[in-house]
Amino acid sequence: MTELTSLLYPITVFVLAVLVGFEVISKVPATLHTPLMSGANSIHGIVLVGGMFIAATADSPLLYLLSFVAIVFGAANVVGGYVVTDRMLQMFRKKPAPAKVGADGGSSTGQAQG
């Protein structure tokens, strides 16, 4: 009984978070679905935190190895995910960037935030 009780809070959080997710994400336009997915991808890189915890409690070679791999995976997921999402999103411009002649001007980034 007590064990079930201790589960109630996490399950509540999970269900509410799923509903918030549905609400927020259903408003994302189809134009941005690829950055959305890659951004969501970076968010599940949060398992990195889990990797840090298991590294801290590890006490055998096997556990050290498992936690190391988990951290490498999680870090690649987080860093790569956010960087590639940013790279994609900076390409979405309201107006076309100045033609290639203006290679000297960094002004194109200024226009990016339409």
Q: Binders of another protein among 21-60, rule CB under 8 A?
A: 21-22, 24-59
Angle at which helix 47-57 crosses helix 61-89, to 10 degrees, equals 160
- The closest alpha carbon to 114, from 86, 95, 89, belongs to 95
The Cα 94–Cα 88 span in angstroms is 14
Cα–Cα–Cα angle for 84, 23, 78, rounded to 5 degrees = 25
Whole-number minimum distance, CB 2 to another protein, in Å? 10
Contact between 3 and another protein per CB under 8 A: yes
CB of 88 within 8 A of CB of 34?
yes
The Cα 33–Cα 41 span in angstroms is 12
Q: Which of residues 61-90 bind another protein (CB under 8 A)?
A: 62-64, 66-90
The Cα 110–Cα 87 span in angstroms is 15
Q: Which is nearer to another protein, 8 or 104 (CB)?
A: 8
Contact between 102 and another protein per CB under 8 A: no
Contact between 105 and another protein per CB under 8 A: no
Number of residues located near another protein, criterion CB under 8 A: 88
Contact between 7 and another protein per CB under 8 A: yes
Instruction: Determine which residue in the list 1, 103, 106, 114 makes contact with another protein, applying CB under 8 A.
Output: 114
Whole-number minimum distance, CB 104 to another protein, in Å? 17
